């Protein structure tokens, strides 16, 4: 089944170019299992030689638009639709990430190989701010697709053989960034509580 979906995605891009990429990026953000990165690579490499900037931009816009659709699905369907679509253990892990990192969890999922569609629907279920959700999605998805497009343009086939390692490295870097963000929030929360206690004493 997965091979059939992959073949369909490539045929769509071969037939419709950037419009096909936009379509795949859109549906991948809410339910489609094939990541659009492989299609970005296929478009940037010969014989298509598409502009990496245009390709990454189209993929980012399509993905973020699909993410908003996923957010609306989650907001409308609630927790039951999340439990119906995904493994309960995975849902619990996502919920734990939201409790720890908040909107930063969306950025982590948007940039790394973590299944993004779980987070888009979960963001609606957990009523994450739509503006914060869109901002994190634009930054995370944009950084990922522009990185893939330009690395492919610069290094060609070489980057394909090492893409998995590059994504693992990016996951580690984003994990460190998220941990730093969480520590900053924790420290900030402590400072705010101290300020509130001081004001209360003064009153």
pLDDT at residue 176, as a whole number: 59
pLDDT at residue 161, as a whole number: 61
Task: Specify the higher pLDDT residue, 70 or 31.
Answer: 70
As a residue count, the chain comes to 203
Asked whether residue 168 carries a pLDDT value surpassing 70, the answer given is no
Asked whether residue 57 carries a pLDDT value surpassing 90, the answer given is yes
Look up the pTM and report it.
0.75
pLDDT range class, residue 64, cuts 50, 70, 90: very high
pLDDT at residue 54, as a whole number: 96
94 neighbors 127 (Cβ within 8 angstroms): no
Distance CA 169, CA 162 (A): 11
Task: Specify the higher pLDDT residue, 191 or 39.
Answer: 39
pLDDT at residue 32, as a whole number: 79
Tokens 């948007």 locate to 110
**Residue 1 DSSP SS3:** coil
Phi, psi torsion values for 129, nearest 5 degrees: -50, 125
pLDDT range class, residue 93, cuts 50, 70, 90: confident
pLDDT at residue 179, as a whole number: 59
Residue % of the chain over a pLDDT of 90: 20
**Distances in whole angstroms, Cα of residue 49 to Cα of each of 106, 149, 195:** 31, 11, 57
- Overall average pLDDT of the 26-45 stretch: 85
Phi, psi torsion values for 49, nearest 5 degrees: 55, 45
């Amino acid at each position: 089944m997965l091979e059939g979906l992959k073949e369909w995605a490539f045929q769509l891009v071969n037939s419709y170019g950037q419009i096909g990429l936009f379509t795949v990026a859109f549906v991948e953000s809410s339910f489609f299992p094939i990541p659009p990165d492989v299609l970005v690579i296929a478009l940037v490499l010969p014989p298509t030689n598409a502009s990496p900037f245009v390709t990454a931009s189209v993929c980012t816009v399509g993905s973020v638009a699909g993410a908003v659709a996923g957010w609306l699905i989650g907001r409308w369907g609630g927790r039951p639709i999340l439990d119906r679509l995904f493994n309960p253990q995975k849902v619990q892990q996502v919920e734990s990430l939201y409790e720890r990192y908040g909107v930063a969890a969306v950025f982590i999922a948007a940039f790394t190989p973590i299944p993004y569609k779980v987070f888009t629907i979960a963001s609606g279920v957990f009523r994450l701010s739509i503006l914060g959700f869109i901002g994190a999605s634009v930054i995370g998805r944009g950084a990922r697709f522009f990185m893939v497009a330009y690395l492919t343009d610069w290094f060609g086939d070489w980057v394909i053989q090492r893409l998995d390692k590059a994504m693992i490295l990016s996951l580690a870097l984003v994990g460190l960034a998220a941990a730093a963000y969480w520590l900053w929030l924790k420290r900030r929360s402590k400072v705010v509580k101290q300020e509130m206690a001081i004001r209360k004493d003064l009153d």
